[in-house]
Structure 1
Amino acid sequence: MSILSPDPSLEPSLEPPLEPSPGAPSGEPSPAPLSATPRTALGRSKDRARTDRAELYAVLDAGLVCHLGVVAGGVPMVVPTGYGRIGDTLYLHGSTGATSLRADGEVCVTVTHVDGVVLARSAFHHSVNYRSAMIYGRPRLVTDPEERLAGLRALTEQLAPGQWDAVRPPTRKELAATAVLALSLAEASVKVRQGPPVDDEEDYALPVWAGVLPLRVAWGEPEPDPAMTADLPVPAHIATRNLASR
């Protein structure tokens, strides 16, 4: 599955690419704290809730893939896909014919990072350390040309910062085959679990190893495409990110 190409079978266009407009929206983040709604209020483990909107941005900005939940034709479906954020707006994209992007109604988007496996003294209290965000809302189809390019740029930069300026921008034909959705971050929740296991008091005396197995995700060595026609060095924005993750 490609999360950048809306239609891998789309033939290359000979049209000149469209240049991003300097008038694209800047999307200033909102200073307002996260406020619980009936859908985002935590029913359990309320101590894990976060209300600082900056923590929402941090969870989203650290991710690569979100899960988009929709109801299409009366059937629920959850689709893994790329995303990008500008200020208080989340951008999603895909083929104009994608069922998930043509569904009309409320959606739910989630992003989760697993930071470790929590091993307790009892099977019941095993857990994971994580950071997660959940966003509810009704997305809007982006039709403004400047905002469409800004949204696609945000999607590309989410995967590889600096990549948008290093590659050919989309052509009119490619843009016509691509749907871009904007989802407000107004209704969102953040939940975080960190730290050691929490066992029942009587279980702390059990001769069972307990603790956390940290999980770390790191970039590997860049692998050049065998189809490249020239011996090109790894671009600085990619090499730098690779070294920073070590």
Structure 2
Amino acid sequence: MPETAITDLSSTTRTTVTRKKDRAATDRAALHAVLDAGLVCHLGMVTGTGAPMVLPTGYGRDGDTLYLHGSTGATSMRAGAEGPEVCVTVTLLDAIIYARSVNNHSMNYRSAVVYGRPRHVTGREEKLHGLRVLTDHLAPGSWEHARAVNDKELAAVTVLALDLTEASVKMRSAGVIDEPEDVEAATAWAGVLPVHTGFGEPQSDPLLPEGTALPEHVSLRRPALRPDPA
């Protein structure tokens, strides 16, 4: 499906940032960037029992559609298939900010919040498309490399499609912000501690035939080799 043109993010009562307004993004490209960089979202809804539920969920984005999936037996998927109002969030932590005062400690982050009513995907073609989007997001190249989904597996999974129309993005990328008197007093260390998320060395399944090569789509995600110590 084609990528949508970059437009301003929605401005509704739910998506308007009211605190630290300078951290709010204004264009849809920022939303896409956060969603594409994350791997797990949190899906929140109020179930039929009246109890709130927030669960980590796999997802994938295609244009302005977010695909979610899970077992047909999962409470979140059964409830989501009924089209309730949901809230989906993705947060990326980039750094811990150490300030001279505890009050001014902070975090550098990128976060997205999406509101809407998910659509239960029932058509075979779109359901497979949604699963491919999800697979390509988490494990690029696996859709072509691994065995295809069979009919039994397809029937056992629920796919939801959520429109990204109503969404907001908030982020911080600054350094330490301290009170002038705390800077002058110089009683504590202050600075930025970056947070990095990366992939480790692939570990082959011991049941693979001996000599099975690591496929390119996995090797591309291997960590860079560290130089030998001098």
> What is the TM-score when the length of structure 1 is the normalising length?
0.86
1:179 to 154, 158, 168: 158
- For residues 172-222 of structure 1, the C-alpha deviation after alignment (integer angstroms, 9 at most, x for no partner) is 111111110000000010111012121122221122111100011111100
Residues 63 and 123 of structure 1, relative CA distance in 2, 3 Å threshold: same
Contact kept in structure 1, 2:201 and 2:223, CA below 8 Å: no
2:189 aligns to what? 209
User: Stretches of 4+ moved more than 4 A in 1?
Assistant: 243-246
Contact kept in structure 2, 1:27 and 1:89, CA below 8 Å: no
Contact kept in structure 2, 1:218 and 1:245, CA below 8 Å: no
Structure 2 runs not aligned, ≥5 long: none
* CA distance in structure 1 between the partners assigned to 2:195 and 2:225 by the alignment: 13
1:239 to 197, 210, 219: 219
What secondary structure sits across from 1:97 in the alignment? coil
CA drift of 1:229 comes to 3.4
2:119 aligns to what? 140
2:104 counterpart of 1:122? no
Contact kept in structure 1, 2:85 and 2:117, CA below 8 Å: yes
1:23 aligns to what? none
2:7 counterpart of 1:32? yes
CA drift of 1:40 comes to 0.8
* CA distance in structure 2 between the partners assigned to 1:168 and 1:240 by the alignment: 20
2:69 counterpart of 1:69? no
Contact kept in structure 2, 1:27 and 1:88, CA below 8 Å: no
* CA distance in structure 2 between the partners assigned to 1:177 and 1:79 by the alignment: 19
CA drift of 1:227 comes to 2.1
Contact kept in structure 2, 1:219 and 1:245, CA below 8 Å: no
2:74 counterpart of 1:98? yes
* CA distance in structure 1 between the partners assigned to 2:67 and 2:202 by the alignment: 27
Residues 218 and 142 of structure 1, relative CA distance in 2, 3 Å threshold: same
CA drift of 1:232 comes to 1.0
Contact kept in structure 1, 2:198 and 2:223, CA below 8 Å: no
- For residues 133-184 of structure 1, the C-alpha deviation after alignment (integer angstroms, 9 at most, x for no partner) is 1100000000121111111001111111111110011111111111100000
Residues 71 and 162 of structure 1, relative CA distance in 2, 3 Å threshold: same
> What is the TM-score when the length of structure 2 is the normalising length?
0.92
Identity %: 58
CA drift of 1:44 comes to 0.4
- For residues 120-140 of structure 1, the C-alpha deviation after alignment (integer angstroms, 9 at most, x for no partner) is 111111111000111000000
Range with greater deviation from structure 2 (193-202 or 121-130): 193-202
CA drift of 1:245 comes to 9.9
1:8 aligns to what? none
Range with greater deviation from structure 2 (222-231 or 181-190): 222-231
2:206 counterpart of 1:226? yes
What secondary structure sits across from 1:82 in the alignment? strand
2:167 alignment partner AA: A
Range with greater deviation from structure 2 (221-230 or 34-43): 221-230
2:174 counterpart of 1:199? no
2:80 counterpart of 1:80? no
2:23 counterpart of 1:48? yes
CA drift of 1:242 comes to 1.6
* CA distance in structure 2 between the partners assigned to 1:60 and 1:48 by the alignment: 17
What secondary structure sits across from 2:9 in the alignment? coil
